[in-house]
Structure formats: C-alpha cells, structure tokens
Amino acid sequence: MSFPISEASPVRFAAALPTRADVLVIGGGVIGVMTAWFLRKAGLSVVLCEKGRIAGEQSGRNWGWVRQQGRDPDELPIMVESLSIWKQLALQMGEALGFRQTGVLYLAKTDREIEGFEAWTEHARAHRLDTRLLTAGATLAMLKGAVAPWKGGLVTPSDARAEPWVAVPALAAVARARGVVIREACAVRGLDLAAGRVAGVVTEAGRVACDHVVVAAGAWSRLFLGPLGISIPQLSVLASVAATEPMPEIFPGNAADDDFAFRRRADGGYSIAPGARHDFFIGRDAFASFGVYLPVLKKDFRSTSFRPAAPQGFPDAWGTPRRWSLDGTSPFERQRILNPAPNLGTLAGVQDSFARAFPALGRPKLKAAWAGMIDSLPDVVPILDHAPILGLTIATGMSGHGFGIGPGMGRVVADLVMGRPTGHDLSRFRLSRFSDGSTIRPGPSL
C-alpha cells in the first residue's frame, strides 16, 4: 500500500450494503472504526461507511503518539482506559498493530514550561501514572548526542507509539472479521428522518435503514451536520509531517519541544514534525466562528500561519456547497480524501532544529513528507453527545488527539449510543456548550 493512503490506494473494504442495520457509523478513522468495533462486540449489527479509504485522512497522517502525558484533565480518564485497550489489542494482534510502549518525553526551554510540567503532574498523580519531572542533566542523558539547552523535561515511560496508517486499517480488518460491514468509497449524503428521528441514511450506493447513526466524520462533520440544523464551530488546521531516512537511535519513543517533535519508526527512521506550528485556512466557516475561537487564537497566535482557504476541495472552501440534494452528488463524493500539500518551509525549519539539537547526526534526510487536516474545536476537546435528532450521536473534534485515545473513545461512544453508562464524566464534551452561554476556552493541557 502506498503512503499516505490516497484515492489511488486500492479499496480494501468493499462489502455490499445491507438493507438494514442497528447502527450506521459515518467515518473510517480510528474513532469510527473503534466505535463500530465495540458496538459489534455488544451484539449489534453495524455498518461503517467511509467516503474515501479507511485511515485516509488524519487518522493515517498523524504523529503516531499514544500518550497520556499532557492530556486535558477531562480527556485523561478516557486516555488511561484507551492505553489499557491498546495493550489488550497488541496481545491479540501482535506485530500487525505496531504498538510499542517506548515513552513520551516533553522538553522545556523556559522556566514557564517547567512550571506547566509541574502543574500537570498533579493530574498524573491523580491517575497513578508513571510520569516524572526531569532535571536538565537527566533530560540530556535520555537523548543520545543531544546538546540543546533544555531546562528540564517531563517523561511518561508507559506511553506508547504505533504506525497510524498501518494500525487503523489493521483494526478495521479485525472488526470486519468479527462482523462489521465496512464499505470504502461510499459517501453518506444525509439522513433519512421520520417523525423527528433517524430512520436510515442515504448513501451514494443506496439507502440503509437503521435506528442509530454515529457521525465520526472528522474534518467533514460540520459540513455534514449543517443541513440538519446542527451547528458546531469546527474548523481544520493543516499539520505537516515527514519521515526521515534510517538514523541512529537517539530515543526509542516520542519527544517534543516547541520547535520540533519526533517519533521512532519501525523502519529505523523518525517521523518528524513542528512542535507547535500549524497552518490555519480562512474560509466561510472560519469567519462565522471567529468570536468563539478568539481565546485559543490569542493563546497560540504566534505559532499559527494564516492562509486563505482554497476555492474547492476542502470542507471550508469558498466553493463548497453547504446544501445538496440527497439524490445527487454530494461534496463528500467530490473530495474523497483530504490530501493537502505539506508546508515544506515549516518542515525545513524542523530539520534545522533537529540538526542544532543533535549536531552529530546533522540535518535529517527526508524520504517522504505529507500533511493532514486536524479537525479542531475552540476548546480543543471533542464533542461526544447525542444530537437533538433522536438516534443521532456525534463523536468529532478530536483536535489532533484522536489516534491515541481512539480505542477508549470508541468504547465510550458505543455505550453512549446504546444508552449504557459510559463510566466517565462527559459533561465537558456536550454539544450544548456552544449554545448554552458556557465560557469556551482551552483547558489546562500541555
């Protein structure tokens, strides 16, 4: 399979659609796949429709970190559960998952960053994590050949890594073997409603009757929900990543400061990315959401590059229709997979930062570069909630945190759909927080 997964990648999941299912899941990223996994485990009949390819968008393009460290405190309990599920999955699936507990290391250049690390350790202690603060000397000792003037670090040895574009399709294959009907290249155009509740969905391949629908459509969720009268302030930011040629090991796991981040890969190279920089595209929805995003923009303004949205081929593109007929081609069919060009200038800066930190290795040579669109919400935590339409559940806005937390989120969303206790306080993730007068701001995370 080519990387990244694209429209040219072969269709691996082409099941015939049944006329009826208990639940239909929209979106073949890690959240959709794991939600379908746990719904099927509970004995329900489940169909998963993906307009492009499984893990074709951000679930296959992210850093590949499976981290508890630095999580928003309201996400952390689900992430702790998720790591436990990852370990169980690794026992079942072996090398196919590519899961390794090699640790996450954050690197601090300033006293303010050290103070943030110290504050977050309170959450680590509350969940009995193996997180610990490091002195400057202990930090350098963990990184072979490092000379950067870091003032200290924060490490969680139990955190992990996996190769996203391999792991998510592997999980989907197991879900299929256990009875989930998965159909790639099959866009869901909209819902079929009867008496104010879900009666089915209309796909490009026909109608499927169902009692419940889960929208786990990542960056496309806002566009899908809009015609239903459900408005969410979801926007997307571009995240650029590159894979290096094989290099000597400097750290077996994942590490980051505000200039660069890296993850050891199974092929002997590293996935590298900017530690904090990202690109934000300004389109129609961005203008409409400016006010609610102002707090996070103020917090992160210097690390954000602003660009005009493209005229086509993007959820917030100026030419993307916000309404369409269910018996005609939808925007989801016109753009099967978001495959934006990476910011090569930003990645060149990452190469330079890496070379300054590890001069003996020099500037890493790249063998591939790609980008993905992170679906974000203004408080940088997701929506996990029932929609005002009976039978509709929303699981979106993972804000770049979805890959690692995906298995735990899948279990939570499945129980939410079935009306079971989820075992976690989901009030922070309610849909109504954007309309009930709540103050919207990012929570305390790293």
Model confidence band, residue 245 (pLDDT cutoffs 50, 70, 90) = very high
Give me the percent of the chain exceeding a pLDDT of 90.
85
Each residue of 373-402: pLDDT tens digit?
999 999 999 999 999 999 999 999 999 999
Predicted local distance difference test score (pLDDT) of residue 302? 61
> Can you read off the two tokens belonging to residue 206?
């026909």
Q: Pick from 256, 275, 264: which is nearest to 98 by CA? A: 264
246 and 390 Cβ atoms separated by less than 8 Å: no
Predicted local distance difference test score (pLDDT) of residue 2? 55
Each residue of 282-310: pLDDT tens digit?
888 887 887 787 776 666 656 677 777 77
Predicted local distance difference test score (pLDDT) of residue 292? 83
Say whether pLDDT at 237 is over 70. yes
Q: pTM of the predicted model, to two decimals? A: 0.96
Predicted local distance difference test score (pLDDT) of residue 298? 65
> Can you read off the two tokens belonging to residue 61?
């393009």
150 and 108 Cβ atoms separated by less than 8 Å: yes
105 and 133 Cβ atoms separated by less than 8 Å: no
Higher pLDDT, 4 or 190: 190
Each residue of 167-210: pLDDT tens digit?
999 999 999 999 999 999 999 999 999 999 999 999 999 999 99
What is the dihedral sign for C-alpha 56, 11, 314, 385?
Answer: negative
Q: Pick from 407, 95, 400: which is nearest to 256 by CA? A: 400
CA distance linking residue 322 with residue 318, whole number of Å: 10
Say whether pLDDT at 30 is over 50. yes
Mean of the pLDDT values across residues 145-174? 96
Predicted local distance difference test score (pLDDT) of residue 1? 43
Higher pLDDT, 71 or 291: 71
Say whether pLDDT at 106 is over 60. yes
Predicted local distance difference test score (pLDDT) of residue 299? 65
Say whether pLDDT at 421 is over 90. yes
Predicted local distance difference test score (pLDDT) of residue 233? 94
